Amino acid sequence: MAGTSRRGVAERRRFLLGAGALLTGAVVPAADNRRPSKNTDVLYGRDTLPIGIRSRRIDNNNGVTLHILEAGFETPGKPCVVLLHGFPELAYSWRNQLLPLARAGFHVVAPDLRGYGLSAVAPVNFADDLLPYSVLNRVSDVLGLVRALGYEKVAAVVGHDWGGPTAQWCARVRPDIFQSVVSMSTPFRRAPRLPLGSADSHGPVEPEIDIQKDLAALPRPRKHYFWYSASQPANNDMWHAPQGVHELLRELFYFKSADWKGNKPFPLKSWTASELAKMPTYYIMDLDKGIAATMAAERPSKAEIAACKWMTEADLRVYSTEFNRTGFQGGLNYYRVDMDTRFDGDLNSFAGRTIDVPSCYIGGDSEWAVYQSPGTFEAMHNVCTRLLGVHLVTGAGHSLAEEQPEQVNRLLLEFLRQAKS
């Protein structure tokens, strides 16, 4: 995806910083047009990340040293905002949010999560222990990180994609620490529901739907991406894709973005094969194709690559360099944990528990993640008792923080102001 000019990037950054000042009442110094050619304070993105963002490696005292990008670190005592990325992403996915939030008065911290990027010292194998990727251990990762940074409270935890459920559970489990929460793309999901009064129930038990079997039986045989992503072949399929990791990621980001004109999402009626099959093939795959082949079938044209302004070739190279090194298994383990019943007991102990801190949902108006689990988007008010906003960003697909950073930053800053009041 073709790059933008340095002047264009600088102009967009000045707009973002100014918008942050208007929303928060902060005074923002004029931007310096003399941008150094390299940011030597970061471990990746030296040619793309602006001065004011730095890298650090932090032992989180929970068994992993996390690489973080941070901004707003110069003055101690600022309230902390933590940004959690999704799959297949990195802390770098928040590159357009770090400085605007920092200029608004926050210490902003974005880690490469467990199994990703520079937080992965070596590729993760399918046979490695899955327990460290469990939901509650991911909460412990974030909690350990902020405590290592000296914080007993966090103003907001913001999660995108798989970072969303982690952020949600941070707020559900430790509302005394995580004082507000934003979930991006992934709607707020309820805690487990243990049956009430089942001891006296003698009615028939409804059989569980075998969605994979039903999808495979469609006239056009299909399979659900979630099950495939949790399978052993998925990592090799992506890591050793015929088109290479760089092109695979280009195709994936494009296919799920507002740039792909087929993304016109709408609510699905039910969790049935016929309804789910209405989604694009990046969610409901053809039965005979893996992820690499699915993405290759929808690769952007040269003209579409040239027209893309939100993911430069240099940006894409940051992602592909890291995933070429680590593979994708660390991120794919999040799917595996979600489907492994061995971890159900830990979450069942929070059965029925709502999220009671101020919360906000932000999705893209061109992304299917909003509706991929029928009914979840519509039921968020039952999950969050203080849901202050539900927003669908115009002209954004799944990578909304990158596709439409100005809109996302405005919504984040407005929510932070509301949550504090």
Q: What is the pLDDT of residues 186-197, one digit of tens each?
A: 999 999 988 888
How large is the C-alpha radius of gyration of the chain?
Answer: 21
The residue extents of the domains of the chain are 6-192+341-420, 210-329
Mean pLDDT for all residues in the chain: 92
At residue 14, the pLDDT reads: 39
At residue 170, the pLDDT reads: 98
- Band (pLDDT 50/70/90 cuts) for residue 386 is very high
Q: State pLDDT tens for residues 10-23.
A: 443 433 333 333 33
CA dihedral 191, 196, 198, 201 (to 10 degrees): -130
Q: What's the whole-number mean pLDDT along residues 271-296?
A: 98
At residue 196, the pLDDT reads: 85
Q: State pLDDT tens for residues 72-117.
A: 999 999 999 999 999 999 999 999 999 999 999 999 999 999 999 9
Q: Is the pLDDT of residue 269 over 60?
A: yes
Q: Is the pLDDT of residue 26 over 60?
A: no
At residue 199, the pLDDT reads: 85
**Amino acid letter, 325:** R
The DSSP 8-state label assigned to residue 379 in this structure reads G
Q: Are 413 and 197 in contact (CB under 8 A)?
A: no
- Band (pLDDT 50/70/90 cuts) for residue 178 is very high
Whole-number percent of the chain with pLDDT over 70: 90
- Band (pLDDT 50/70/90 cuts) for residue 203 is low
| 338 or 21, greater pLDDT | 338
Which residue is listed with tokens 């101020």? 358
- pTM of the entire structure? 0.90
At residue 243, the pLDDT reads: 98
CATH number assigned to the domain with residue range 6-192+341-420, chosen from the 4 options 3.40.50.10490, 3.40.50.1820, 3.50.50.60, 3.40.35.10: 3.40.50.1820
Q: Under 8 Å CB-to-CB from 155, ≥6 apart: which residues?
A: 79, 80, 81, 106, 179, 180, 416, 419, 420
**Amino acid letter, 237:** D
What angle (nearest 5°) sits at the alpha carbon of residue 158, between those of residues 38 and 232? 85
**Amino acid letter, 61:** N
